[in-house]
């Protein structure tokens, strides 16, 4: 899965421009242009795409591992059930041989009972497998949500930084910032008393 696909999965595909690896690109995405974008880029920390991809890969591997464990247990369960069923069938057969024709009815009953028990065991094994797969998927989702949370956190920080920058009345260029609303950011009035002196020289 590529990073773009990951963003799309997280529903953040419209914000892919903020995940550039060059800080200038992030500043440009916020509406800063030219030299201004280059200067203001220093105030942005690019997102660690590689680490995120590694995490995503790790999550996949973990899910695969868990699934492998589950499948192994499932196979073992099936195998065990088959062996138990075979053993029971053999024992019933031996008992029927010893009893002769007179015990045919009881033998048939025992075989039916064994099949019933085996069917229930198989159903239990299948149920546990389904539950296991569900649990693995849930775990994978939780871990992926952690990644999405990181993406969201990063985006919020970028926008908050952008708001602060614009609140500080940046010089040069024109604003095209259409970031998040809410916190107007820091900065404010650059000077305690911006009104300048009135010269009375003459």
Partner 1 sequence: MTLAEIMAGLGASQAVGGARTGALLTETVEGERRDLRDARKRLEEQQKERDRKAKRRDKRRGIGRLLGGGIGFLLGGAPGAALGSAIGQGGAAATQRGGYKLDNVSAGLGQGMFFKGGREDISTAERDINRYLDDANTGFITNIATSAVSDYLTAGQLDKAFPGIRGGGFKAIGEKGIGFDSIMDMLRFDPETTGLGAFDKKSFIPSAIYSPKTMAGEGYLDFIKPDISQYNKNYLSVKGNPLTAISGSRISTSSSLDDILNMMRGG
Shortest distance in whole angstroms from residue 156 CB to partner 1: 10
Q: E strands within 42-178?
A: none
Closer to partner 1 by Cβ: residue 37 or 81: 37
- Taking the C-alpha atoms of residue 179 and residue 148, their distance in angstroms, rounded to an integer, is 19
- Taking the C-alpha atoms of residue 178 and residue 33, their distance in angstroms, rounded to an integer, is 14
R_g of the chain, CA atoms, integer Å: 34
Please choose, from the candidates 151, 179, 145, 158, the residue with its C-alpha nearest in 3D space to the C-alpha of residue 4. Answer: 151
- Taking the C-alpha atoms of residue 124 and residue 119, their distance in angstroms, rounded to an integer, is 9
Stretch that binds partner 1, among 95-103, 106-114, 128-136, 190-198 (CB under 8 A): 190-198
Under the binding rule (CB under 8 A), the answer on residue 199 touching partner 1 is yes
The 8-class DSSP code of residue 196 comes to: P
Binding to partner 1 (CB under 8 A): which residues in 102-141?
none
Binding mask 24-63 for partner 1 (x = CB under 8 A): ------------x--xx-xxxxxxx--xx-xx--xx--x-
CB neighbour list of residue 1: distance below 8 Å, 6 or more residues apart = 9, 56, 60
Binding mask 147-176 for partner 1 (x = CB under 8 A): x--x--xx--x---x--xx--xxxxx----
Closer to partner 1 by Cβ: residue 103 or 185: 185
Q: Is 51 exposed, middle or buried (0-12, 13-18, 19+ CB in 10 A)?
A: exposed
How many binding residues for partner 1 (CB under 8 A)? 44
Under the binding rule (CB under 8 A), the answer on residue 66 touching partner 1 is no
Q: Which residues sit at the interface with partner 1, rule CB under 8 A?
A: 36, 39-40, 42-48, 51-52, 54-55, 58-59, 62, 143, 146-147, 150, 153-154, 157, 161, 164-165, 168-172, 187, 190-192, 194-197, 199-202
């Amino acid at each position: 899965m590529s990073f773009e696909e990951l963003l799309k999965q997280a529903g953040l595909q419209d914000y892919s421009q903020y995940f550039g690896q060059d800080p200038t690109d992030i500043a440009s995405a916020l509406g800063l242009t030219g030299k201004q974008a280059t200067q203001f880029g220093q105030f942005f920390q690019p997102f660690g795409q590689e680490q995120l991809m590694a995490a995503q890969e790790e999550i996949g591997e973990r899910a695969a591992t868990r699934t492998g464990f589950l499948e192994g247990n499932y196979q073992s369960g099936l195998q065990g059930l088959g062996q138990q069923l075979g053993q029971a069938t053999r024992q019933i057969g031996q008992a029927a041989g010893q009893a002769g024709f007179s015990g045919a009815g009881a033998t048939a009953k025992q075989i039916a009972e064994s099949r019933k028990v085996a069917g229930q065991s198989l159903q239990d094994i299948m149920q546990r497998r389904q539950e296991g797969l569900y649990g693995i998927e849930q775990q994978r989702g939780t871990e992926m949500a952690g990644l999405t949370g990181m993406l969201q956190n990063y985006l919020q920080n970028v926008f908050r930084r952008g708001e602060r920058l614009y609140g500080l009345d940046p010089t040069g260029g024109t604003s095209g910032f259409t970031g998040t609303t809410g916190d107007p950011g820091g900065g404010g009035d650059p000077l305690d008393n911006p009104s300048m002196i009135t010269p009375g020289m003459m």
